[in-house]
């Protein structure tokens, strides 16, 4: 397991996601546990349909889990309402969707810098790098 839960900037504990497929439950994720400390990297890999995008959506607070919790810098993501999760995500996290929609007039760095600049981050270029 990456990182220690005490120093984690991202922590998943008992994270699960289940949906209905017809009238039957379909388990997408079950009991995901990990922690990532500042400066660590984590790769999430797997076959198509294995739950990678679902996991990332849960870690970003874009989707709600069926079980478990996600903490960003110690803050319980799902104790917040949708607006609170969006504010926290805008402040602490950034990620690019699988089918990202970049602005064609901007290069890759400028596309990453744009939301930081819109949020008033003075060191947008440094943070984007």
Q: Name which of 88, 91, 124, 120 is nearest 106 in CA terms.
A: 124
Domains of the chain, earliest start first: 1-80 (3.40.50.300)
Share of the chain above pLDDT 70, in %: 90
More confident residue, 75 or 7: 75
What does the pLDDT average to over 84-88? 91
What does the pLDDT average to over 79-101? 81
Cα-trace Rg, the chain:
16
Residue 112: the pLDDT is 85
Q: What is the DSSP letter of 98?
A: T
Q: Name which of 31, 44, 34 is nearest 3 in CA terms.
A: 34
Share of the chain above pLDDT 90, in %: 53
27-31, 62-66, 79-83, 107-111: the lowest-pLDDT one: 107-111
51-60, 64-73, 109-118: the lowest-pLDDT one: 109-118
Is 72:47 a contact under the CB 8 Å cutoff?
no
Residue 3: the pLDDT is 52
**What is the C-alpha to C-alpha distance for residues 53 and 56, in angstroms, rounded to an integer?**
5
């Amino acid at each position: 397991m990456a990182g220690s839960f005490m120093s984690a900037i991202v922590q998943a504990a008992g994270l699960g996601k289940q949906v209905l497929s017809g009238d039957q439950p379909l388990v997408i994720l079950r009991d995901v546990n990990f922690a990532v400390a500042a400066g660590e990297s984590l790769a999430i890999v797997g076959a198509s349909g294995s739950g990678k995008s679902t996991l990332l959506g849960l870690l970003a607070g874009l989707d709600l889990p069926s079980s478990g919790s996600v903490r960003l810098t110690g803050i319980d993501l799902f104790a917040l309402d949708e607006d609170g999760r969006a504010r926290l995500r805008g402040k602490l996290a950034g990620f690019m969707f699988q089918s990202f929609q970049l602005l064609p007039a901007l290069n890759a760095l400028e596309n990453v810098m744009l939301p930081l600049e819109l949020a008033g981050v003075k060191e947008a270029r440094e943070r984007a790098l």
